[in-house]
Structure 1
Amino acid sequence: MSNALRRVVASGFRSLQKVDVRFGPFSVLVGPNGSGKSNLLKVLSFIRDSARFDPSQAISLLGGFSHVLRQDGRQGTVSLSIEAVVSEFASSNALDKYTLNLTESADGDIERDEELLYKSVRGRGRRQIIRAQGLDVSIDDLQQKAGTRQQFLRLASDSVSALGTIARLDEGGLGSGPRDFFEFLSTVRYLDPDVNAARTPSRMNRAELHDDASNLASALYALSEASPDAFDALQRDLARCLPGMESLGFGVIGGAAASIVVQLQERGVIQPIELADASFGTVRLLALLTALHDPAPPQLTIIEEIDHGLHPYALDVLVERMREASSRTQIIVASHSPTLVNRLRPEEIIICDRDPDTGASIIPVVDSADVADAVADSEWRLGELWFSGALGGVPA
């Protein structure tokens, strides 16, 4: 199973006053609206965008620092930390750890600190820690008993993240850790399909599925060409969810700048249905299945509101497919559906709630061992037990 990301600790970020969440290969966040599910997922996309570009641009994408910082009337620091098994010598006993701290100065500038801890060689000890404050970077070789200062660097500018800059350096003794971790963060897939955009034809290229699925047609076509077996399996899943569905096909429109059109062939219908005329749920389901059948996905896939617009019968297929896909990519999704939760195992659910007095998110409300005990002691299925309020994470 793919289980690169192990833990997220976040404080001062939107509704997340202080949360500490651990993840397995396949994790489903459930809870009422406003409980912090999306904010927890946004932590991961925010760190991804900070790595790809720089923290300032990631802040801009969320509407400015006032939309990032916890809205409790106090000035403060946003602190985000993730632990993972990514670099060459990382393990469950020696996790990679990346921390990003952001503070707004009195004159409105964003001050940032970054820190990466990782193992640079095989065996016990020999961990490196890279610290960046502004443009100043220090690299320490941490021995088992004491730290030995190794290097100082100064970044040329703050237009990219320190992690992104260090990952591109060929500094002796650093090993592949910074590069491995940067690759992990920068390739996180955050899938939140824009159905109207996904309906449109797209240029014929082999780009990976975009986060908003706006290139769904070309991504599907590329999958059919590069991995016919995966494409056939996708069609079988689609047929299980859509009565009368026979196959997917493609049309080409335009001249020199040709675009691909997806066509759905149904039994008893002469003319295929183009994606532009397909239902909301059909388009969204097709985008989800395209990501889940990707034979070479990124290490981490995040999906917002997995059940949005889908018939309950489709959830059987989706849960089955997500479990299977989690052998290739770690899956973290958000859901409101007790029907979907009924199909989960206790270790796959993360229940979210919100403190009614402070507005702070509580994640998780209950640990997976207690969830398992509650299911064992009840005649109800997991989704029914959660929806009843017995596990928390439902509107008061």
Structure 2
Amino acid sequence: MDLPVREFAASGYRSLQRIVYPVSRLDVLVGANGVGKSNLYRALELLRAAAANGLGAQLAQEGLEAALWAGPRRSEPVQIGLGVTLASPHRTDATLRYDVAVGFPPPTAAAFQLEPQIKTERLTHATSQRKVVLAERDGPSVMARGEDGRPATVEIDLLASETMLGRLEDPSRYPALDLLRRTLLEWRFYHDLRTDPGSPLRRPCTAVAAPNLASDGSNLAAVFATLAHIRGDTAELDALIERAFPGAKLVVPTPDATASFGLRLPDFPRRVFDAAELSDGTLRFLALAGALMAYRLPPFVALNEPESSLHPDLMEPLGALIAKASERTQVWLVTHSERLAAAVEASGAGAVRTVLKRNGATAIEGLTPFGAFRDDED
């Protein structure tokens, strides 16, 4: 059951002093280097990490001191705040909201000195009439409402860097928390589709039906084989490849123990070039096609600079691919390419938003502090 994202919020994280963003079906963020586009993308990744119980570990790898907002601070605690609002599956006017705050542990905490500590978490169900806190964590203490709707203390051993969202796994007693966790875990982030000689994209993979592409692209051959030999329909994929590489044809052999693919090029019609032989740009474009045309798309897909290593003439086919994917899922696109942003905007599928810096803080042109765009209000 998909829960569409309605709003995303981040504060105190790197250049994100405070951002509240109303998420749509397709969001395109474009801007110069250093304005914080990747920080927005990374903050969304950290929300997924909270569901996987890896938020503390990922911030520790970044270095919490480096990850904290470095600009002027008021008297409030020095913390990173993340939040996401999802549509409720039961009512059109209802939402589920998850918030988490992370900071340094106090000297008396059962944590390492520089270990990120999950300070608070809260899951809220809201309708137009009322708002109910379904689960809440304050330090090591956890409260959750059970099947009877009554709040009760939950006996759970939480380490400082662990999340309630990742640890409190009991679908029958806490169905909303479980649904939120499973939804976030299904999100996919594509920024590390390597094309070097050792890239997993260049190797055959185990032949197991693949509904969607792994974040590192390691099952790309299985994604293509699933479309070709299980769904039995590659018409849209073939049309995309023809538009991007006129005269080329994707070849997907029937898998045995492994799945593989290759490309037949117009200059050499009798030979199939396997994945290990393809150019970086060609292989990366095929990986993006696998990510966005897979048998079953994740509920939320984030792309960070997908134009890297692609020829400029591929921006229009890529823009069309992204726009088409937004009919099946929500897409968050971060790009340096004005040409790609223009190609997406020309499709009419989503609005292009300009990311900029104001007084050292990431800002988005036209976005108010309360999470609405002025052009939407008009």
For normalisation by structure 2, the TM-score amounts to 0.83
Deviations 1:11-43 (A, max 9, x none): 111111111211210111100011111110111
- 1:289 and 2:289 matched: yes
Contact 1:3 1:24 in 2 (8 A): no
Equivalent of residue 168 in structure 1, options 162, 167, 170: 170
The correspondence of residues 237-256 of structure 1 with structure 2, limited to 5 A, is 237-250=240-253
- 1:130 and 2:135 matched: yes
Deviation (angstroms), 1:369: 5.2
The correspondence of residues 268-347 of structure 1 with structure 2, limited to 5 A, is 268-269=267-268, 270-343=270-343, 344=345, 345=348
Equivalent of residue 108 in structure 1, options 114, 136, 141: 114
Deviation (angstroms), 1:199: 1.8
Contact 1:9 1:19 in 2 (8 A): yes
Deviations 1:164-188 (A, max 9, x none): 33342532xx4x3212111111111
The correspondence of residues 1-396 of structure 1 with structure 2, limited to 5 A, is 4-60=4-60, 62-72=61-71, 76-85=78-87, 87-91=88-92, 93-105=93-105, 106=107, 107-112=113-118, 113-118=120-125, 124-125=129-130, 127-139=132-144, 150-158=151-159, 160-171=162-173, 174=174, 176-192=175-191, 193-196=193-196, 197=199, 198-207=201-210, 208-229=212-233, 231-250=234-253, 258-269=257-268, 270-343=270-343, 344=345, 345=348, 348-355=351-358, 358-365=359-366, 370=375
Secondary structure, counterpart of 2:262 in structure 1: strand
Deviation (angstroms), 1:311: 3.0
| Cα RMSD (Å) | 2.9
Deviation (angstroms), 1:3: 7.9
For normalisation by structure 1, the TM-score amounts to 0.80
Aligned match of 2:110? none
Deviations 1:343-371 (A, max 9, x none): 3049511210112xx42111245575549
**What letter corresponds to residue 189 of structure 2 in structure 1?**
Y
Secondary structure, counterpart of 1:98 in structure 2: strand
Secondary structure, counterpart of 2:318 in structure 1: helix
* 216 and 295 in structure 1: CA distance in 2 versus 1, 3 angstrom threshold: closer
* 360 and 168 in structure 1: CA distance in 2 versus 1, 3 angstrom threshold: same
Contact 1:346 1:368 in 2 (8 A): no
* 341 and 3 in structure 1: CA distance in 2 versus 1, 3 angstrom threshold: farther
Deviation (angstroms), 1:291: 1.4
Deviates more, 1:234-243 or 1:319-328: 319-328
* 12 and 126 in structure 1: CA distance in 2 versus 1, 3 angstrom threshold: closer
Structure 1, gaps ≥5 residues long: 142-147, 374-396
Contact 2:319 2:340 in 1 (8 A): yes
Deviation (angstroms), 1:281: 1.2
Secondary structure, counterpart of 2:259 in structure 1: strand
Deviation (angstroms), 1:330: 0.3
Secondary structure, counterpart of 2:260 in structure 1: strand
Tell me the matched-pair count: 351
**What letter corresponds to residue 361 of structure 1 in structure 2?**
T
Structure 2, gaps ≥5 residues long: 108-112
Q: Distance in 2 between matches of 1:126 and 1:6?
A: 16
Q: Distance in 1 between matches of 2:49 and 2:373?
A: 30
Q: Distance in 1 between matches of 2:336 and 2:132?
A: 41
Deviations 1:293-315 (A, max 9, x none): 12311110001112222233322
Q: Distance in 1 between matches of 2:376 and 2:217?
A: 34
* 41 and 157 in structure 1: CA distance in 2 versus 1, 3 angstrom threshold: same
Q: Distance in 2 between matches of 1:239 and 1:25?
A: 27
Identity of aligned residues (%): 24
Contact 1:347 1:369 in 2 (8 A): no
